[in-house]
Amino acid sequence: MKKILFVCLGNICRSPMAEYIFNDIAAKNGIRAHAESAGTSGWHNGEYMHCGTAEILDSMDIDSHTFTSRKIKPADLAAYDYIIVMDDSNLADVEKLFGRQPEKIFKITDLAPSCGYDHVPDPWYTGNFNETRNILTACCEALAGQIRRGEK
């Protein structure tokens, strides 16, 4: 089973949305993979996700009630097959912690270059949770397909 850690800044918007969307896609398609999420800042440790993220997941009939935000930790490098970040700033922060490992640590948008984005805009600032959902769904579907085909 592949283990994936999605990472954003606060672990209340983008990375939890990716976690739950990916797990839903994997479960519906019989893909042996499981995702979790974390943030680089730790600003929201122990909190539930942003209400905008929860509303998006609810609208997709994805149950997210068990979520709790957490900060990335050193043990995560060994615990996960992939650490997938949302933008260049997250990538720099994660690479400071773990070093450069492009086969294991990379941006989610690298998985779906046809989505037209080189990062996932943070809806905390943009307010556009639908845009985030659309990008993450395309990227999570691409990741699930690569895992199913044995490419990841």
76 classed as catalytic:
no
8 classed as catalytic:
yes
Q: Is residue 39 within 8 Å of 87, Cβ to Cβ?
A: no
Angstrom distance (rounded) from CA 75 to CA 114? 33
| b/e burial code for range 14-27 (CB count within 10 A of at least 16 → b) | bbbbbbbbbbbbbe
* 24, 76, 93, 122: the active-site residue: 122
* 13, 14, 24, 93: the active-site residue: 14
14 classed as catalytic:
yes
Annotated catalytic sites, by residue? 8, 14, 122
